[in-house]
Structure 1
């Protein structure tokens, strides 16, 4: 494959944009709960801005997908970036003014941007051949490796730029990183859908959603993303409760993000070789090991190793679920199915973000970990059932 191949070129550019998007998201994840704690009227509300962020992402995914169906991918992504940059500057204003409500609004705007950015992987899938599609999806998400290294470092470097007003600098850095992606989006070449394809409706969404392929794909991605959000959102607060410094929690989140995105360099190839069901089951196993390690102690090593496994589990379940979902729809149905699938995934993340800080504050870190155990087991059972069904159909 050559960079002269339009699909490879687009995947490369989208991977860069994804890296910039995720760098901002990881910075946001690293500092938002801590900034929220300084602004909130009650520490139990510290993760409320993140919860509003995931709510906005959830509510934006479907409209963003349909908007792109009409205006094209590039203009859609540019629109999202402009919303995100504006939201970051609103966050700066909220921190300087000590306004918690305004900070929640800023988080919602950043979340709306993420509702557009999560579609980078589908933009890559839409232009790739069937054999290249799993690799295209995973390679776009591989851009997150850069984010894993860059995001926490930028958060640590910028959180005290305006000391004694803490964390405002991080949101200035988020705005700058997101704005940079506009340069690369200018070179993305994905044809705007034709009038005929926009007019074609396809099957009703409910009919598509009743397919076992759709159900298992979305269930795996929902639990993968929701469980990751649930544990990751509470981690900086739990580490602060255990006496760790901000730099320690930033270090753990950084390596968690490496665990999320580094496998993307080979996840697509693993799916092609071993099958999507086996890879998703490996993700479930990583979650179970994460829970076991978090129950074993509260030293830095436990936080570090458990969060790396949490990231790997997310990667296998999210990329696997995305790949499996592409088998459930026809070309004319892709916008509504992609948007609806992500709506469900980020519904789970929203519930996780709303409840994580409250459960950690009132019931403790171990309750957070115990909360994802039955979900991981349920996904494992569903995947085993679906895998046996596929084998029987192929026999």
Structure 2
């Protein structure tokens, strides 16, 4: 079977399992933390542990997979996630708050590995199919919009006097299913192990001087950071404006769908229109989201704004990731991908952890106005790169695999 056709469904399935777990964490971690912690101020510590561990493990995950191979790294990470989910369920049953924090950190560590699924798909695909490969992997997240919240709802009372423990046991099974799927991957060998690979590895500073690298990093970091900030603040803003939990769940579920459903065609749009236009459209969709948020606080306003926010994230993240794959040689991919993801998920961690405080201190209007400068930077970078591409050939390193 064609490796492209074999690997993409397997990686997309693993992506769906990872995002389902993440969706469950976002839905339930703060509630579990509030129930287990002696101090209510620690309620969000488990979610913080998950975000921080993802950030800290991004570079070590790339290094480890460089040494043992991506397939082995992905399977190992699935077992780390399964261990974390099992520990989470046990901690809830036992009332062990810090055990749950540790479990969240293990799940976050798994996610650091899982964030490389998209690169594994791109690096095992022909150059002309890289954008579509990345899109199809992220499309696996569509399932997460349904699996994660339903696990939270259905698993809430599976184990008496231990809310959400059943959901985490179900997530453990999802991780094991992902491990089984990932064991069937047929990924190409690491470029450094190829006897015909004689290209020197350039310093990261030299790689980072490429316009394509800088634009990819700016758009991915700011696009993901703004999405994380606004998304995390939305439930608090909706509660402040007297919208109930069902309305909030409705808005978030549609937001998750908007994040991943466009992936079915984003790759084709990149092939047709080019990366710069997709990045520009993503930044404009983000600005439209802010405009909607500033003009009303009804459920319909939140719904429309979060749909635009999800679409924007999809275009910016897939466009930037596709652009990044054109900036490095096969022998350089580990360090370039690791540096990119460390920057992106450091920003995501900071924005997620600050969203609650910013919403509490400044309110919904200022939260939205505060992201406008970041969006203008992303839009400016995308427009500049579009002009640069028209005037000159994109400065990319030669690809040999």
- Normalised to the residue count of structure 2, the TM-score between the two structures is 0.91
User: Which ranges of structure 1 fall in alignment gaps of 5 or more residues?
Assistant: none
Q: How far does residue 99 in structure 1 lie from its aligned partner after superposition? A: 4.2
Q: How far does residue 35 in structure 1 lie from its aligned partner after superposition? A: 2.9
Deviation readout 1:55-77 (Å, 9 max, x if unpaired)? 21111121111211221111110
The 1:104–1:243 alpha-carbon spacing in structure 2 relative to 1, beyond 3 Å, is farther
Number of the residue aligned with 1:135: 132
Number of the residue aligned with 2:297: 298
Deviation readout 1:274-328 (Å, 9 max, x if unpaired)? 1111101111111112112222233222222211111111100100110010111
Match of 1:177 among 174, 187, 190: 174
What does residue range 175-324 of structure 1 map to in structure 2 within 5 Å? Answer: 175-193=172-190, 196-197=193-194, 202-324=201-323
The 1:187–1:178 alpha-carbon spacing in structure 2 relative to 1, beyond 3 Å, is same
Q: Are residues 1:122 and 2:148 paired? A: no
The 1:53–1:292 alpha-carbon spacing in structure 2 relative to 1, beyond 3 Å, is same
CA distance in 2, matches of 1:365, 1:34: 22
CA distance in 2, matches of 1:223, 1:357: 19
- Normalised to the residue count of structure 1, the TM-score between the two structures is 0.92
Alpha-carbon contact 2:92-2:100 (below 8 Å) kept: yes
CA distance in 2, matches of 1:64, 1:336: 11
CA distance in 1, matches of 2:88, 2:239: 23
Alpha-carbon contact 1:208-1:214 (below 8 Å) kept: yes
Aligned length: 392
Higher relative contact order (CA 8 A, sep 6+): 1
Q: How far does residue 164 in structure 1 lie from its aligned partner after superposition? A: 4.4
The 1:40–1:347 alpha-carbon spacing in structure 2 relative to 1, beyond 3 Å, is same
The 1:88–1:24 alpha-carbon spacing in structure 2 relative to 1, beyond 3 Å, is same
Deviation readout 1:5-48 (Å, 9 max, x if unpaired)? 12111111111111111111112122223333444566555444
Alpha-carbon contact 1:30-1:253 (below 8 Å) kept: no
Q: Are residues 1:84 and 2:77 paired? A: no
Number of the residue aligned with 1:325: 324
The 1:235–1:86 alpha-carbon spacing in structure 2 relative to 1, beyond 3 Å, is farther
Q: Name the stretch that deviates more: 67-76 or 242-251.
A: 242-251
What does residue range 338-357 of structure 1 map to in structure 2 within 5 Å? Answer: 338-357=337-356
